Amino acid sequence: MGASAQQNGNGTATGGQTSSVLVSGASFAGLATAWWMNNLGYSVTVVEIARGVRRGGTPVNIRDGVIDVVKRMNLLERIISASLPPRPVTFLDAHGTPLSPAPGQAEEESEEEYEIERDVLLDMLFNEVKDNVEFLFVDGILELEESAEDVAVTFTSGRKQSFSLVFGCDGTHSAVRRLCFGEECSFLVFLQNYFSLTIVNKLLIEQKRITREQFTGEGWRTRELLDEMSCCDDLYLDKLCQPGGIVEQGPSGSGRSCRPGRRP
């Protein structure tokens, strides 16, 4: 969304003062836009509905035009050193038979491609801008009023501020797009499918299996507890041991290292 015709392309209005821009959303698009606008000399504010940069998700792929973008941001080397080893992705049908070609793989393979954990890339981008960009977390845009000079923004927190430009980087269900252009049903084509992604924690599955095996059939409320355990995403499983105290460990070692504990 643009509002001012008097920009000279380096973030300075014709009057000489720095122009301010607002970016809605602090994910890949938002943080990258903040980086570029800041480097072009604009004073940048990012508003994000969540409490912080939203973490989680499966790794992302850097390929095609994005390679050039991250190269120009001097991030390519860091992305390469943090990238994951190449892993094949296999789509299976209902019988577990690999689909060939897999959905999306019919397209031409990218020659250069790096896979990186979503959080690692987010941290990289956030650290690049955090000292030069203002972040408004737990806030969002309530109203936008565009004039020839600027865009008057009312935030959900009640704050009001005007910006030269507003960027909607707030995802597929963008609030900025809805406020500027109308309801999302006019812009999104629903492909009649839903998708869901999760990361399978093999260790957790194994720990739950062992615990269930050991406690199944025990009395009291064990069954109830095992049912609760099957939904949890965090489990502590270890041998039951009594750590030896400093005295029991004797004088072995350098004399400067110890393992605090209590006497049995």
Pick 7 or 79: Cβ nearer ligand FAD: 79
Q: How far is the CB of 174 from ligand FAD (least distance, A)?
A: 7
- 198/45 Cα distance (integer angstroms): 32
Distances (CA, A) of 173 to 55, 68, 126, 191, 195: 18, 27, 22, 15, 15
Stretch that binds ligand FAD, among 49-57, 83-91, 182-190, 231-239 (CB under 6 A): 49-57
Q: Which of 2, 41, 52, 56 binds ligand FAD (CB under 6 A)?
A: 56
Q: Which of residues 180-219 bind ligand FAD (CB under 6 A)?
A: 197
Q: 10 Å Cβ neighbour count for 248?
A: 13
CA proximity to 140, closest of 118, 173, 110, 112: 173
Q: Which of 48, 62, 114, 167 binds ligand FAD (CB under 6 A)?
A: 48
Q: Which of 21, 34, 47, 165 binds ligand FAD (CB under 6 A)?
A: 47
# residues contacting ligand FAD (CB under 6 A) = 21
Pick 56 or 253: Cβ nearer ligand FAD: 56
Pick 11 or 30: Cβ nearer ligand FAD: 30
Burial of residue 204, with CB atoms counted within 10 A of its CB: 0-12 exposed, 13-18 middle, 19 or more buried: middle
Q: Which two tokens stand for residue 55?
A: 């973490």
* Residue 24 interacts with ligand FAD (CB under 6 A): yes or no: yes
- 120/69 Cα distance (integer angstroms): 17
Query: 37 with 2: CB under 8 angstroms?
Result: no
Q: How far is the CB of 135 from ligand FAD (least distance, A)?
A: 11
The 3-state DSSP class for residue 60 equals: strand
Looking up tokens 């050193």, which residue turns up?
A: 81
Stretch that binds ligand FAD, among 45-53, 79-87, 181-189, 246-254 (CB under 6 A): 45-53
Pick 13 or 29: Cβ nearer ligand FAD: 29
Pick 91 or 215: Cβ nearer ligand FAD: 91
Q: Which of residues 117-176 bind ligand FAD (CB under 6 A)?
A: 140, 169-171, 175
- 134/47 Cα distance (integer angstroms): 8
Which residue's Cβ lies closest to ligand FAD? 57
Q: How far is the CB of 40 from ligand FAD (least distance, A)?
A: 19
- 263/193 Cα distance (integer angstroms): 61
Pick 54 or 130: Cβ nearer ligand FAD: 54
CA dihedral 193, 177, 39, 69 (to 10 degrees): 30
Q: Which residues of this chain interact with ligand FAD, rule CB under 6 A?
A: 24-30, 47-50, 54, 56-58, 140, 169-171, 175, 197
